[in-house]
Amino acid sequence: MNMVSISLRVALGLAVGAHVALPAEVMAASSTTLASPTAVTRSLERLMREAGVSGAAIAQIEQGQLQWVAVAGERAPGEPVTVDTVFNAASLTKPLFATLFLHQAAEGEMGLDDGLAQDWVDPDIAKDPLRFELTPRLALSHQSGFVNWRGGKPLSFTFAPGERHEYSGEGYEYLRRALERRTQLSYSALALKSIFGPVGMTASYLGWDEQLDGRVAVGFDERGQPHRRGNLRKAKPNAAAYLFTTIGDYGRFAAWVARGADLPPALWHEMQQPQARHQNPAENFGLGWHVLEVDGDAVLWHDGREPGVRNLVVVLPESGEALVLLTNSDNGELLMRALIADRLPNGSAINQTMDRDIWTYLQRMPSEQIAGIARVVSGSPAFLSKLLHAVHTTQIAPGDLPEAKLHAARQSIDAYVHAVRDGQIDREQSAQLVSMLLEDTSAGPAWRDQLSAAQREAWIAALDKRGAGRANRVAAQVSPKLLARYVGQYRVPSSNLLITIERHEQSLRATAAGTPPITLLAMSDTLFFMREDDTRFEFVADADGAVGQLRLLWSGGRSELAQREP
């Protein structure tokens, strides 16, 4: 069966399910998944241990082509993540639906500025004149006037369409219903025709399917405990959520977008342009994508958040680079900054642009919302990380502090956030740190526009005092004779990784295949630590005093014994 016959099936309305098998030649072309370099996998595993992330998968795209995918961690308790593991994409569904719609626009089915009322009017707003102002452009750029989700309440406008930006899954669903009525085809049929078929997404589902049993990544909370998410089995095809996909499939989609998504130039340009009628960088939303301008080029990105789900896709249309991260952990956002910096050519600039947008967003927040937001941020490691890095980029880095002090403050942020996540810093302490960024005004609390030199120094000191414990640990003195006892090779059973321990000056050095050497500093005669993260190394001797094992101690209480090679 060729692609023409696929289109024929769709046109006849036969492909109406959430997932339809593709022909063999498309399956074969899309089934190849490139393995990642070993160093990348090791780096991902290290970042996951630091952040307390249960399972993750990343895809690297270069020049519009999927180069490799890497997977690590657990899909479910005791079961590893594999390239075939299916993740809940959550809001990463939105860019896919937006691209689907633009293909329908390219075919003349519906224009970006067509009134949706001619095809669909929700009964809840049937008498509201604002219904006539709804267009695909406004829905895709989150200017519909709807709340994110109506829940059990009637749908209503909270503002006039186009008046401002307000993230809304309801707007996407409204457009889906209008598009289905205009084309007389189901969302699933349109997806097969416009996305799944051309891209070769052979393991993706819109809504729940029985074939997903035992394959979907189980979500874990910040403490590493599984979430209860039985409602996923009730998930129906949705324009804003409930795409279930593998890292290979979504990586192919991101690669397709990175090379233009087969869209006409005019629509491809529209996708990348901020659509809001008002000026606020935090509201720069294109058609289905957040839009950043970095070094004069557009950067498209989107995240996905649900309990036990934290995902990210970043696309650089100018260079054809892209990065996809899928995780099954509430801590998944703690991976994003490092991966953006490491895996994208202008990653640091992207992070800093996001930091500045976050700080601008906070400055323009209504006073009545600030106290509540500050409380939420104080208790969330992910939100706290975003705030602290935004402060560093906008308030600390522009000052005249020495580079060494700036670097130490930046490292203290990650240490602080990990300490919050592990319970070493309680919510009251983190709330005190956040409160240093607030001031009282006649209108109520406000985020400080600019920290003074004294306030910057005080903030760094508070952050360092509570968060930089690992960075400030002092190495103990161990005799060269004792260090010599630990020299050898140790094999980690779970990964078959061989760790080589060598003497290095007055300490030890650990190396493994595909990773750079790491210096180990003594905390005691048997326990060693590394500056880079919270991992510790304990050498274990038997009753006769012979060192035969190396215990790896990770943050969060996890450990594993490596056996010494003969």
Q: Is the confidence at residue 304, as pLDDT, over 70?
A: yes
> Mean pLDDT across the stretch 288-299?
94
% of the chain surpassing 70 pLDDT: 90
Q: Which residue has the higher pLDDT, 10 or 545?
A: 545
With beta carbons less than 8 A apart as the criterion, state whether 265 and 108 touch: no
* pLDDT at residue number 26: 40
Q: Is the confidence at residue 386, as pLDDT, over 80?
A: yes
Task: Write out pLDDT tens, residues 401-412.
Answer: 788 778 888 888
Q: Which CATH architecture has domain 480-564?
A: Beta Barrel (2.40)
Task: Write out pLDDT tens, residues 245-269.
Answer: 999 999 999 999 999 999 999 999 9
* Cα–Cα distances in angstroms (integers) from residue 482 to residues 342, 487, 511, 540, in the given order: 37, 10, 19, 13
* Cα–Cα distances in angstroms (integers) from residue 134 to residues 49, 153, 166, 349, 505, in the given order: 46, 20, 14, 36, 69
Instruction: Give me the amino acid identity at 9.
Output: R
Beta-carbon contacts of 519 under 8 Å, excluding residues fewer than 6 positions away, are: 504, 507, 508, 509, 530, 531
Q: Is the confidence at residue 4, as pLDDT, over 80?
A: no
Name which CATH class applies to 3-355. alpha beta
* pLDDT at residue number 24: 41
User: Confidence class of residue 473 from pLDDT cuts 50, 70 and 90?
Assistant: low
Task: Write out pLDDT tens, residues 153-187.
Answer: 999 999 999 999 999 999 999 999 999 999 999 99
Domain ranges of the chain: 3-355, 365-467, 480-564
Task: Write out pLDDT tens, residues 104-150.
Answer: 999 999 999 999 999 999 999 999 999 999 999 999 999 999 999 99
Beta-carbon contacts of 466 under 8 Å, excluding residues fewer than 6 positions away, are: 416, 419, 425, 429, 433
> Mean pLDDT across the stretch 43-50?
90
* pLDDT at residue number 441: 87
* pLDDT at residue number 328: 97
Report the alpha-carbon angle 198-204-209, nearest 5: 135
Instruction: Give me the amino acid identity at 261.
Output: A
With beta carbons less than 8 A apart as the criterion, state whether 113 and 135 touch: yes
Beta-carbon contacts of 120 under 8 Å, excluding residues fewer than 6 positions away, are: 174, 177, 178, 181
* pLDDT at residue number 478: 83
Helix axes 24-31, 247-258, angle to 10 degrees: 90
Task: Write out pLDDT tens, residues 307-363.
Answer: 999 999 999 999 999 999 999 999 999 999 999 999 999 999 999 999 999 999 898
Q: Is 211 left (phi over 0), alpha (psi -120 to 50) or beta?
A: alpha
* Sequence-separated contacts (24+) of 6-9 with Cβ below 8 Å: 6/192, 6/193, 6/197, 7/193, 7/197
* Spatial distance between the Cα atoms of 458 and 419, rounded to a whole number of angstroms: 20
* pLDDT at residue number 85: 97
Record the tokens describing residue 400, joined without a space: 């005249």
**H or E stretch covering 51:** helix 38-51
Mean pLDDT of the chain: 87
* Sequence-separated contacts (24+) of 21-28 with Cβ below 8 Å: 22/196, 22/197, 22/200, 22/202, 26/197, 26/200, 26/202, 27/200, 27/202
Task: From 297, 280, 303, select the one nearest 143 (Cα to Cα).
Answer: 280
Task: Write out pLDDT tens, residues 5-38.
Answer: 233 223 323 333 344 444 443 444 444 457 777 8
User: Confidence class of residue 499 from pLDDT cuts 50, 70 and 90?
Assistant: very high
Record the tokens describing residue 450, joined without a space: 């600019």
* Cα–Cα distances in angstroms (integers) from residue 94 to residues 90, 331, 505, 529, in the given order: 8, 22, 54, 43
CA atoms within 13 A on the CB side of 527: 8
> Mean pLDDT across the stretch 487-510?
89
> Mean pLDDT across the stretch 387-392?
96
* pLDDT at residue number 195: 97
